[in-house]
Amino acid sequence: MAAVNGVGLSWPSKLTKNQTPKWGFSPSHRRCNPSSSSSSATIRMTASVDEKKKTFTLEKSEEAFSKAKELMPGGVNSPVRAFKSVGGQPIIIDSVKGSRMRDIDGNEYIDYVGSWGPAIIGHADDEVLAALAETMKKGTSFGAPCLLENTLAEMVISAVPSIEMVRFVNSGTEACMGVLRLARAFTCRPKIIKFEGCYHGHADPFLVKAGSGVATLGLPDSPGVPKAATIDTLTAPYNDISAVESLFEEHKGEIAAVILEPVVGNAGFIPPKLEFLAAIRKITKENDALLIFDEVMTGFRLAYGGAQEYFGITPDLTTLGKIIGGGLPVGAYGGRRDIMEMVAPAGPMYQAGTLSGNPLAMTAGIHTLKRLQGQGTYEHLDKITAELTQGILDAGKKTGHAMCGGSIRGMFGFFFADGPIYNFSDAKKSDTEKFGRFYRGMLEEGVYFAPSQFEAGFTSLAHTPEDIQRTVAAAEKVLKQI
């Protein structure tokens, strides 16, 4: 189910490989229109957020973060963790389990970040931990081929429609670096098209209108990125096919590929319009350019075969990460065999990595994907995520806040803005100061969202109806106070 304020957009609960998604339109005011398959149940605020609980304090986190700022730039190893876009004190996590996380002050939270997506079966799953323990007995890193690589590769290839061969790497950034080099090598063309607000890692060519953590900086989006590194990066607004057509017309024969998040997650949750992905597929074929889906977020989250299975659009190349490593550092890129055979040592395009195919990451990925093959997996994600999002939007309407948002399977988001939200320009109209107040209030109520208005949220198989009820009740309480 995807929706924006003012118009309810109902995604089908499942699409086969070649099906086109059907949109159901219905008028509404400041709310989503839930799909019939996932939102028949009404959220009842039976869970009290006023139960007796210990006093909320971040004293230990504050002390630890102060020390961290002396040791690491900004006190963190990834910028959004510093809470600069929401204000207040970052929390320092001590442990995670299932749908919950606990900080060093002893506060417990219902977690909707899931390590930014990998924890789709829940944190610290017992089966995955047991498998990792067995693998560790054999060693933590080989720097040489292992059978586990074959197993995970076979699982990825059988699941993802576009992938006939795959190369494992160590991060989503590395996957996108590799796939860009491959696209240019295969087409012998220099230019790429990316979309405003889409994030494809922190490699120089992608740090142009990259959303999320670099949303407020200039172009290129980071000092230290020379103009020469981004001169061949063309940008267009997401969901705007006419802008893409104009770029192809202006740069005939020069465009190697179009890369995009099939559902945007780094400008907040922004789904594609019905016709957008199909039109992008058509125009790339007409111009002998490659279509790349960055499914680091959406891969195995929207469907077992990713967004390309869900929407019925098959790209030429795909990047993956997060879920396929089960929470351990991993990335991958893959696609058509004729393209992938250009990668060294099969072909001339060089890319390498010391820890690529790490046995621990492969093990965690294998056992995570096995769990996702279980019956009812994506139906569960669809139901709880739609109820969560709808409940929050209804709470916003009840308390007089302009809000919009939506969800698809285990991915969701909401904005403090009147909709519709079709692209990053629309998303930037959100009331980020209000989101910051809401965010800090939800922390005190024991709910952990991504600390940015411009990040998607994630649910897991470990989230329960009680988790959703408690979150929605907390949201209404906080929304009444801000």
Q: Which residues contact 118 (CB under 8 A, 6 or more apart)?
A: 322, 323, 325, 326, 327, 368
Tell me the CB-side half-sphere exposure of residue 334, using CA atoms within 13 A.
26
Separation of CA 238 from chain center: 16
* Residue 55: DSSP 8-state: P
Q: How many CB atoms lie within 10 A of CB 397?
A: 17
- Give the Cα separation of 297 and 407 in Å (integer): 14
Query: Strands across the sheet with 411-415, in order?
Result: 404-408, 411-415, 457-458
Q: Is residue 457 within 8 Å of 468, Cβ to Cβ?
A: no
Give bridge partners of residue 408 from the DSSP assignment: 411
Give the DSSP letter of residue 270: B
Neighbours of 188 (CB within 10 A): 7
Residue 380 Cα distances to 110, 207, 259, 377, 465, angstroms: 17, 36, 30, 5, 10
Residue 16, both tokens? 């086969």
Listed residue (418, 388, 408, 385) closest to 5, CA to CA: 418
The catalytic residues are 199, 294, 322
Using CB atoms within 10 A of its CB, is residue 383 exposed (0-12), middle (13-18) or buried (19+)? buried
H helical segments located in 72-171: 126-136, 147-159
Residue 396 CA to residue 464 CA, distance in Å, equals: 22
Answer for the pair 269, 305: CB distance below 8 angstroms, yes or no: no
How many contiguous H segments (helices) and E segments (strands) does the chain have?
14, 17
Q: Which residues of 50-88 are buried (b: 16+ CB within 10 A; e: fewer)?
A: eeeeeeeebebbeebbeebeeeeeebbeeebbbbbbbee
